[in-house]
Structure 1
Amino acid sequence: MAQSLDDIVRVNVTVSPTAQSAGTFNIGLIVGTSSVISATDRVKIYSSVADMKSGGWTGTEPEYAAATLYFSQNPTPSKVVIGRWDETGSETAVEAVDACRAANNDWYACYVVDAVKAEITAVAAAVEAMKPESVYFYTTTDADVASGTAGNIMETLKSASYKRTFGIYSKTAHAGAAAMGEAMGLNTGGANSSFTLAYKTLVGVAPEALSTTQVNYILGVNGNVFTTYGPSYQLLVQGTMADGTHFDEVLNLDMLTAEIQIGATNALVQAGKIPQTEDGLSLFISAIEDQCEKSVTRGALAPGVWNANPVLTLQKGDVLTKGYLVLAESIASQSQADREARKAPLIYVPVKLAGAIEHAVIGVIVNR
């Protein structure tokens, strides 16, 4: 009988814990009251409208119509989540969206079909505080918006300073789902994939025939509209949330925040131990820097001058050569209580957004 080689050389295999990802930021949720999906199932994921047809949708439902616009955009989103709003249980729109979040964490943006003003306002408030962070798209045909009447939905949401709600004035049903599909399709996460929603085309949406005064009013209350510019341009303007923040800024910071959080957690989980020393802190900082590099690769962060208040050694006027900097207070400055609680010193991540050019003034100088 041969003797075991373990007596000479013992090999132990250790598999490190699987690193987690920061989740998806390119899937939309469409919520409606159709009974194709049961309240018990709550949500189902589809890769196309053909996939929906195979799943029992007839094509006459408002969720199907919204999904058709969602999937019609270029590039096409890879998936949609359809959620059930259970009106039979006297459920509100907010309760439906919350239930869809509890049932599925894959989606980032949401749209509620045929929502009225009160429901839009309530969902906007709920999404503002939602975890994981999400955004809400809605459509309004409210004549008070086009006429600039006080108290209209866009003015109301602007007054509430909601930065997670994107509204579009359109007579095309579910134009908001089209804008959501455009955003989810464009967010591939690849190199130089950062984008804005300004000046995009919404396939399947009719441009609104509005006066300049009407368009300027809608933009002034931080709404959005798909309309005609010049002889032939049909453009979505301006790509802003209800508080005036550009959609891409909200998206990019949500992705950066989630990646830093998951990257730091992965570092703690995968390491046998991160020593509470300057060298150990450097390892932790390196894990955060790796996540910041993803935003640089996408084009969301870029080198620039720091024009905000000083942060530790970073002074106003300094150049962030990589578009970000990860700084930490020293281990030596920690209180004994924090050290015994095994806390890291405070860590700061100043970043410089790449921004975007969306307006220009060009001077033509003629010499005869």
Structure 2
Amino acid sequence: MTLPLSNIVNVSINVGPVAAVRTSFNVGLIVGTSNIISTEVRVKTYSKIGGLTDDGWKGDEPEYLAAQIYFSQSPVPKLVAIGRWDTTKSLETAAETAVQAVTACRQANSEWYACLLCNAVKADIIEVAAYIDSASPVSTMFYTTRDADVLAGIAGNVMETLQKSSSHRTLGQYSTSKYSTSIKADSTDSVAAIMGYAMGSNTQTAGSAYTLAYKSETGITAEPLTEGQAKIIKNYNGNIYVNRGTVYNLFENGTMADGTYFDEVLNLDILSNNIQAAVMNTFIDLPKVPQTDAGMATLLNAITSSLETARATGFISGGVWNAAPILTVNTGDVLPRGYAILASTIAEQSQADRDNRVSPPIYILIKSAGAIQNVAIGLYINR
């Protein structure tokens, strides 16, 4: 008989809690009315176009064709989600609206970040755009329009309506491109191409920050626009795919309806998500975060890791703070690493905040690396 060692050396094993799952921000959702996916399932994800075939898709459905375009881009996106929009009617219930369908897809799957609705009409686009601006988790919408009133600049067209409502999370493309296959002669959801590029390029690895400007849309025909027509669309913050100089087919310019660039919306969403997760994981990992200056330092260090990730991808970079002064950072100060994290001291807290275990306010200042999309060059010749 032997006695246990634990009486002398007692080893206890503590397994840390699993870190919060972070949304990948690289899955696109394609919503349509085909009944391959039931309303009970609502959303299915696929890693390749062959997966849809294996699942019973015939290849002529709008969702399948949009997914085909989505997966045809380079870099190739890893996943696509297909969602069901139930437009069937019965004696008891009415057909789903577009907003109801996207809301149900959001509830069924929290991982998709961008979405498009196959064959959506103007009213659908406008209603879903309003929902997407407030959806949780944060999301974006891509849509294609071929409405003649957009090209003609007629008041009240879908692009003007979304611009006037300052839709921050919706990107629209004007395109009359047809499917290149004989299976279907309808116009395609051309915007599936740039959505596929956006999701495929978002790897969050070092130097991976990107813009949508001047990218190629594989499988989409460049729109034969005049300079005047292109200007009309761009004045609405709309996007186009055009040929320049006979050599280049280019997507322009990568803006949301309110004029914000898509890459800025995406990267701020990612940074916000990462900061939130870093702070939550700190609360979960530690027995407690003391309400002291040392405890505040712990929180600030957690936030720093998220900012360093944004710096590594190329979203933020060192530069001059040109905005209004905040605490110790003044207008004109240099942020060498592209960010500064500021907080009031524990000693400055009100007793009420201390009693309620609220931290002092934290201020995060970042300097976007931005992007160059237009160049003016002077060429001087001397003989």
Shorter chain as denominator, the TM-score bin is over 0.9
> What is the SS of the residue equivalent to 2:173?
strand
**1:277-326 deviation per Cα after TM superposition (whole angstroms, max 9, x unaligned):** 11111011000001111110110000010001111111111111111111
The question of whether the paired residues in 2 share the 8 Å contact of 1:191 and 1:298 is answered with: yes
Q: Please, which runs of 5 or more residues in structure 2 have no aligned partner?
A: 89-93, 178-187
> What is the SS of the residue equivalent to 2:3?
coil
**1:156-195 deviation per Cα after TM superposition (whole angstroms, max 9, x unaligned):** 1111111100000001211111111011011111110000
The match for 1:295 is 310
Q: Distance in 1 between matches of 2:98 and 2:236?
A: 24
Out of 127, 131, 134, the residue aligned to residue 132 of structure 2 is 127
Out of 218, 223, 227, the residue aligned to residue 238 of structure 2 is 223
Q: How many residues align?
A: 368
Counterpart residue identity of residue 120, structure 2? A
Question: Cα distance, 1:231 vs. partner?
Answer: 2.4
Which segment drifts farther, 343-352 or 21-30?
21-30
The match for 2:325 is 310
Q: Distance in 1 between matches of 2:96 and 2:21?
A: 33
Q: Does 1:278 align with 2:278?
A: no
Q: Distance in 1 between matches of 2:357 and 2:160?
A: 48
Question: Cα distance, 1:22 vs. partner?
Answer: 2.4
Question: Cα distance, 1:148 vs. partner?
Answer: 1.4
Out of 167, 188, 192, the residue aligned to residue 162 of structure 1 is 167
The match for 1:346 is 361
Q: Distance in 2 between matches of 1:233 and 1:21?
A: 41
Out of 223, 227, 251, the residue aligned to residue 212 of structure 1 is 227
> What is the SS of the residue equivalent to 1:297?
helix
What is the 5 A alignment of 1:242-253?
Answer: 242-253=257-268
Counterpart residue identity of residue 106, structure 2? R
**1:71-114 deviation per Cα after TM superposition (whole angstroms, max 9, x unaligned):** 00000100000000011251100000000000001100000000
Q: Distance in 1 between matches of 2:200 and 2:295?
A: 40
Question: Cα distance, 1:152 vs. partner?
Answer: 1.1
* Identical counterparts, % of pairs: 50
What is the 5 A alignment of 1:31-50?
Answer: 31-50=31-50
Counterpart residue identity of residue 282, structure 1? A
Q: Does 1:149 align with 2:154?
A: yes
**1:242-292 deviation per Cα after TM superposition (whole angstroms, max 9, x unaligned):** 011001000010000000001111011101111111111101100000111
Q: Does 1:189 align with 2:194?
A: no
> What is the SS of the residue equivalent to 2:45?
strand
The match for 2:15 is 15
The match for 2:123 is 118
Counterpart residue identity of residue 62, structure 1? P
> What is the SS of the residue equivalent to 2:150?
helix
Q: Distance in 2 between matches of 1:112 and 1:93?
A: 8
Counterpart residue identity of residue 337, structure 2? K
Out of 259, 271, 274, the residue aligned to residue 259 of structure 1 is 274
Question: Cα distance, 1:25 vs. partner?
Answer: 0.5
The match for 1:321 is 336
The match for 1:76 is 76
Counterpart residue identity of residue 222, structure 1? N
Q: Distance in 2 between matches of 1:342 and 1:263?
A: 19
Counterpart residue identity of residue 27, structure 2? I
> What is the SS of the residue equivalent to 2:365?
coil
Which segment drifts farther, 147-156 or 97-106?
147-156
Q: Distance in 1 between matches of 2:7 and 2:252?
A: 73
Question: Cα distance, 1:335 vs. partner?
Answer: 0.7
> What is the SS of the residue equivalent to 2:242?
strand
The question of whether the paired residues in 2 share the 8 Å contact of 1:21 and 1:259 is answered with: no
Q: Distance in 2 between matches of 1:6 and 1:361?
A: 75
The match for 1:101 is 106
TM-score when normalising by structure 1: 0.99
The match for 1:174 is 189
Q: Distance in 1 between matches of 2:130 and 2:45?
A: 25
Out of 357, 362, 365, the residue aligned to residue 380 of structure 2 is 365
TM-score when normalising by structure 2: 0.95
The match for 1:4 is 4
Q: Distance in 2 between matches of 1:182 and 1:16?
A: 37
> What is the SS of the residue equivalent to 2:352?
helix
Q: Distance in 2 between matches of 1:94 and 1:321?
A: 44
> What is the SS of the residue equivalent to 2:250?
strand
The match for 2:183 is none
Q: Does 1:238 align with 2:253?
A: yes
